[in-house]
């Protein structure tokens, strides 16, 4: 009987489901009878769908069944009740497995045991719960011992089952972060009493004693007995898996990867096969290619005489898969064949789990393997070469963000060569990271909040460490292999990671990390190279990646395979994308950098940023503080030559590519001198009295400068500012047009923070007037356009009116988000976590566009604008221009380009191509 679904409750729930309950199939078999396939991931979860597919293509899959994700949703929405009819379906599915295995669930002579695992639509490694050996009780354990002829094995299975079940289903878990695992404590105590060094030293009788103590522990903690009825165990486990969808780890993971709560998880119930019955048995995890660097080698690890969890838990250090060729040549050869079959069938790199029971191979799971950014690129390119993936598929297989990891910094080669490694581990996440040592996830978060970079050093990580891992520069573990939690998660997060550094001894109590003779304390610097696996004491400077060095002409392309991979993918991306990719850059250096990364123009030059340097800020302040037009014009006169020179520099760097220059948009609080010292210095410099400055600052004070005298409002009040900037732009364009190698510039002048057509018209008229004056004076012809930012809701909803005056729109989604959500872009921090935790925001709306809110304004404004001017050029220059999800949206609403910060340009190119391919 389902744990919570008492007969009474089931009856109560029945009317709600009456019509649907008969028609909806909730349980899908796999094995000799297989109901599902790989296309049914939404319903069966990734694991369930692929188990069905593997069974269907003739791979050796132990039979079982999948309870659908729809049941999970029903369970969550109905206070832990199950839909009517589920119990009967499960019973029938169990019967089918019994038939295929020739064993019976709960039988006292020939018991069938199950594993129960979660399996969401997208794999969430280690986020939810698993229970093995289900069906064991005081009687079936004896039967298992008799059947297997291995009493120790049977009791070891039983004690593991009680431990997992007690933890996951009955809640016998450590209460605080520093508390010991209760079952481990009981086991350690017994080992001490028996003077046993390892778990393997415990005999069958010792394990019987351990089982007794485990059961007593459960009774003490829960006031309940460990259940002996096999079906009661099964429903308890199923309920726990469904509940685990809502546990904290799973919620954090879902937030990070934007997985909706409604998806739910499926539950996979599968006949147990045993890798721990003796030396003819093994269990392992393998990849069809190396997930760290993408190389085409059979890659993985295994343990002889062990159960699956032992490999991932990092308790025993597994052996590299190549060694299996010596230890179990037959199984190794079978696995190599399986690799080929899997890749050919699933057409992607696979990550699979297997067990060898008595020299017979069984496949327990397969999925598209998680991989580093570098591996994603290499696998896509090489699988395309091998005709396993088309070019379009290959493009969509590379998470857009992962291209970033080809551009990640590496250690300065000289500094690294001079440094002496203190140890090494498995390279699990590429790149170079340096930071202060911390030993706990909490400490990592705390230090990062205080502004320090940290490396999280753990014996091993667990899903509880996720937040700390997210905060850290890099992760180092002393235990665990390439499929350990640390490695899997770091790979996904794009974090630098070394795992299984076995020479490293981490002592949490003493807060030290020892490797050989070197002892480091918490807070000391450590540096890790996640590409080579080497660990160094102290800080090491980082330097540019190979790709960056090639792009900057410091390395020959032929010398870098990584660069060639990058270039191939970028070539594909450019072929398929419809969106142009520009950059937000305010200096010639930034612009040149972005062009090297493939930027096709500048989408936003924030002119106020050009005044941060040197003396300019003082003249800028003089201009802002001026109390009359004459003083303002005096200040502007000093600013003009700077602006002209900067624009000329930018135009030269862009070599004729389009440049959008936005006129001044300084929220005043960013520019006013706030403290006495700065005011005194400014007074001296400008020959003004400090009192005058203080008075003007007071007069200009705004309670809410983000909604104050900024953007075009400044130009409307003080037309001379717009005049000066327009003059600087046109004079610079005239100047570069007359160079020996003339550069033809068609400046795009952009007016910020417009809400009314009249406001825009006011400014556009000034620009046209100045343009005419400059062209006449310099005897040149410059073609230019004047457009506007759409960054406040009024502009979006009146975009048709505004389009009558504007020659282009660029969506300023930073301000548009701020003003649409009524949410300050400057102080989100204080309540953001609460909103994330309650899943009100799945993502930070300033990082990834709020598509159903702000997005609709963008879409509507685009349509309105184009209803007036059919070919109105539309771009976006808010931070969302570098976010892959938002880029997908901008593609879908038909924008012409996105503009993002220079390092995001390759990511944006790839994301734009993916949006175009996915349609
Ligand atoms: C914007 O608001 O999106 C924008 C690009 O302008 P800024 O960030 O300079 O306000
Ligand atoms: Mg703005």
Q: What is the pLDDT of residues 342-377, one digit of tens each?
A: 999 999 999 999 999 999 999 999 999 988 888 999
Statement: residue 734 has pLDDT above 60: yes
The rounded percent of the chain whose pLDDT value lies above 70 is 94
The residue among 127 and 778 whose pLDDT is bigger is: 778
Rounded mean pLDDT of the chain?
90
Q: Is 485 one of the catalytic residues?
A: yes
Using the mean position of ligand 1's atoms as its centre, give its distance from the Cα of residue 813 in Å: 7
Pocket of ligand 1 (CB under 6 A): 604, 606, 665, 791, 812-815, 877-878
pLDDT score, position 176: 67
Residue 814 CA, ligand 2 centroid: distance in Å = 6
From the CA of 665, give the closest atom in ligand 1.
Answer: 9
Pocket test for ligand 1, best of 582, 584, 606 (most atoms within 8 A of CB): 606
Q: Which of 447, 435, 444 is nearest to 496 (CA)?
A: 435
- Report, in angstroms and rounded to the nearest whole number, the Rg of the chain calculated over CA atoms: 32
Ligand 2 centroid, distance to 701 Cα (angstroms):
20
CA separation (Å) from 542 to 454, 527, 548, 592?
15, 10, 13, 21
**Among 300-309, 784-793, 852-861, where is mean pLDDT lowest?**
300-309
Closest residue CA from atom 8 of ligand 1? 814
pLDDT at 57 > cutoff 70: yes
pLDDT the model gives residue 749: 98
Average the pLDDT over 17-32 and give the result.
72
The mean pLDDT value for 798-824 works out to 96
CA 401 to ligand 2 centroid distance, Å: 25
Q: What is the pTM (predicted TM-score) of this model?
A: 0.80
Name the residue with the closest Cα to ligand 1, atom 6.
812
Which ligand 1 atom sits closest to the C-alpha of 879?
3
Side-chain-facing half-sphere of 150: CA atoms under 13 Å: 13
Task: Please tell me the distance between residue 621's alpha carbon and the centre of ligand 2 in angstroms.
Answer: 20
Q: Quick one: pLDDT band at residue 835, thresholds 50, 70, 90?
A: confident
Q: Is the pLDDT of residue 16 over 50?
A: no
pLDDT band at 253 (very low <50, low <70, confident <90, very high): confident
Ligand nearest to the CA of 849: 1
For 181-185, 208-212, 536-540, which range has the lowest pLDDT when averaged over its residues?
181-185
Sheet holding 426-429, edge to edge: 421-424, 534-537, 525-529, 432-438, 454-458, 474-477, 496-499, 426-429
pLDDT, residue 2, reads: 46
At 14 the pLDDT is 33
pLDDT of the residue at 613 = 66
Least confident of 320-324, 420-424, 544-548: 544-548
Mean pLDDT value of segment 32-54: 95
| Of residues 735 and 470, more confidently modeled | 735
Euclidean distance between the first and the last CA atom of the chain, given in angstroms as a whole number: 47
Check whether 110 has a pLDDT greater than 80: yes
* CA 665 to each of CA 701, 708, 820: distance values in angstroms, whole numbers, following the listed order: 16, 11, 19
Catalytic residue among 332, 436, 485, 576: 485
Query: Tell me, what's the pLDDT at 312?
Result: 62
The pLDDT tens digits for 232-249 are 999 999 999 999 998 888
Q: Is the pLDDT of residue 790 over 90?
A: yes
Pocket test for ligand 1, best of 582, 752, 890 (most atoms within 8 A of CB): 752
- Provide the pLDDT for residue 843: 80
Q: Tell me whether residue 345 is one of the annotated catalytic residues.
A: no
pLDDT for res 314: 58
CA 166 to CA 172: how far, in whole Å? 6
Other C-beta atoms within 10 Å of 894: how many?
Answer: 13
| Protein residue closest via CA to atom 1 of ligand 1 | 812
Least confident stretch, 101-105, 542-546, 771-775? 542-546
**At residue 114, does pLDDT exceed 80?**
yes
Which DSSP category does 669 fall into? G
Q: Which of 712, 877, 880, 900 is catalytic?
A: 877
Answer yes or no: is pLDDT of 179 > 90.
no
Average pLDDT (102-118) is 95
Residue 810 CA, closest ligand 1 atom number: 5
Please, which pLDDT band fits residue 614 given cuts at 50, 70 and 90?
low
pLDDT score of 126: 66
User: Which atom in ligand 1 lies closest to the alpha carbon of residue 584?
Assistant: 5
Q: What is the pLDDT of residues 672-731, one digit of tens each?
A: 787 888 888 888 988 888 898 888 888 888 888 889 999 999 999 999 999 999 999 999
Tell how far the Cα of 791 is from the centroid of ligand 1, in angstroms.
Answer: 8
């Amino acid at each position: 009987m389902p744990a919570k679904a008492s007969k009474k409750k089931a009856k109560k729930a029945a009317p709600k489901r009456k019509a649907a309950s008969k028609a909806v199939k909730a349980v899908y078999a796999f094995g000799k009878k297989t109901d599902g396939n790989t296309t049914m991931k939404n319903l069966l979860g990734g694991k369930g769908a692929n188990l069905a597919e593997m069974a269907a293509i003739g791979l050796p899959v132990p039979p079982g069944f999948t309870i659908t994700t729809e049941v999970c949703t029903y369970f969550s929405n109905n206070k832990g009740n199950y839909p009517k009819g589920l119990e009967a379906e499960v019973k029938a599915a169990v019967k089918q497995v019994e038939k295929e295995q020739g064993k019976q669930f709960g039988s006292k002579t020939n018991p069938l045991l199950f594993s129960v695992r979660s399996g969401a639509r997208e794999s969430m490694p280690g986020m939810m719960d698993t229970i093995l050996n289900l069906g064991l009780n005081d009687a079936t354990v004896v039967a298992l011992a008799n059947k297997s002829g291995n009493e120790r094995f049977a009791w070891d299975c039983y004690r593991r089952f009680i431990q997992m079940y007690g933890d996951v289903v009955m809640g016998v878990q450590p209460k605080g972060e520093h508390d010991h695992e209760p079952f481990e404590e009981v086991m350690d105590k017994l080992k001490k009493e028996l003077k046993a060094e390892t778990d393997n030293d415990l005999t069958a009788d010792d394990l019987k004693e351990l089982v007794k103590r485990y059961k007593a522990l459960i009774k003490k903690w829960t006031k309940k007995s460990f259940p002996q009825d096999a079906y009661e165990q099964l429903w308890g486990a199923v309920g726990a898996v469904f509940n685990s969808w809502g546990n904290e780890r799973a919620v954090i993971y879902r937030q990070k990867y934007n997985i909706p709560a409604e998806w739910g998880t499926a539950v996979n119930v599968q006949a147990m096969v045993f890798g721990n019955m003796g030396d003819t048995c093994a269990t392992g995890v393998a990849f069809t290619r190396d997930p760290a660097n993408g190389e085409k080698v059979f890659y993985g690890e295994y343990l002889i005489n062990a159960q699956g969890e032992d490999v991932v838990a990092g308790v025993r250090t597994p052996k590299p898969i190549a060694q299996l060729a010596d230890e179990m040549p037959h199984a190794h050869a079978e696995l190599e064949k399986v690799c080929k079959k899997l890749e050919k069938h699933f057409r992607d790199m696979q990550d699979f789990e297997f067990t060898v029971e008595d020299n017979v191979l069984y496949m327990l799971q397969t999925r598209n393997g998680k991989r580093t950014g570098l591996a994603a690129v290499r696998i896509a390119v090489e699988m395309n070469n091998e005709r396993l993936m088309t070019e379009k598929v290959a493009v969509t297989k590379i998470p857009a963000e992962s291209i970033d990891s080809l551009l990640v910094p590496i250690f300065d080669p000289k500094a690294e060569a001079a440094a002496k490694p203190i140890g090494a581990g498995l390279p699990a996440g590429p790149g170079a990271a340096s930071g202060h040592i911390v030993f706990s996830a909490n400490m990592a978060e705390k230090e990062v909040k205080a502004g320090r970079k940290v490396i999280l050093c753990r014996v091993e990580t667990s899903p509880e460490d996720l937040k700390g891992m997210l905060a850290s520069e890099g992760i180092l573990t002393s235990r665990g292999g390439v499929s350990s939690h640390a490695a899997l998660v770091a790979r996904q997060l794009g974090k630098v990671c070394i795992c299984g550094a076995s020479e490293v001894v981490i002592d949490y109590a003493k807060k030290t990390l020892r490797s050989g003779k070197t002892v480091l304390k918490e807070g000391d610097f450590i540096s890790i190279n996640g590409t080579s696996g080497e660990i160094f004491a102290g800080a090491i400077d980082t330097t540019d990646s190979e790709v960056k060095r090639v792009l900057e002409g410091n390395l020959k392309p032929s010398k870098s395979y990584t660069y060639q991979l990058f270039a191939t993918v970028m070539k594909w991306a450019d072929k398929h994308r419809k969106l142009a990719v520009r950059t937000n850059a305010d200096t010639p250096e930034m612009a040149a950098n972005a062009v090297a990364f493939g930027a096709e123009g500048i989408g936003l030059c924030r002119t106020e940023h050009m005044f941060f340097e040197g003396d300019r800020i003082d003249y800028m302040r003089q201009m802002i503080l001026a109390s009359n037009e004459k003083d303002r014009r005096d200040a502007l006169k000093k600013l003009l030559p700077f602006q002209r020179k900067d624009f000329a520099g930018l135009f030269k760097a862009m070599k004729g590519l389009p440049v959008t220059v936005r006129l001044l948009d300084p929220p005043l609080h960013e520019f006013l001198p706030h403290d006495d010292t700065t005011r005194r210095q400014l007074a001296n410099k400008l020959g003004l009295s400090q009192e005058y400055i203080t008075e003007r600052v007071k007069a200009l004070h705004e309670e809410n400068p983000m909604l104050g005298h900024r953007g075009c409002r400044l130009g409307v009040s003080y037309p001379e500012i717009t005049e000066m900037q327009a003059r600087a732009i046109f004079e610079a364009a005239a100047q570069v047009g007359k160079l020996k190698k003339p550069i033809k510039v068609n400046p795009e002048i952009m007016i910020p923070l417009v809400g009314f057509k009249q406001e825009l018209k006011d400014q556009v008229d000034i620009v046209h007037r100045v343009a005419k004056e400059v062209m006449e004076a310099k005897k040149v012809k410059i073609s230019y356009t004047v457009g506007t930012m759409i960054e406040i809701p009024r502009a979006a909803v009146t975009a048709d009116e505004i389009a009558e005056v504007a020659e282009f729109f660029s969506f300023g989604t930073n301000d548009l988000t701020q003003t649409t959500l009524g949410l300050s872009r400057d102080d989100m921090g204080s309540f953001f976590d609460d909103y994330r935790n309650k899943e009100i925001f799945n993502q930070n709306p300033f990082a990834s566009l709020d598509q159903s809110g702000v997005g609709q304004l963008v879409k509507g404004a685009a349509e309105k604008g184009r209803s007036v001017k059919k070919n109105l050029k539309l771009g976006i220059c808010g931070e969302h221009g570098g976010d892959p999800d938002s880029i997908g949206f901008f593609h879908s609403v038909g924008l012409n380009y996105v503009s993002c910060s220079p390092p995001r340009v390759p990511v944006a190119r790839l994301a734009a191509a993916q949006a175009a391919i996915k349609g």
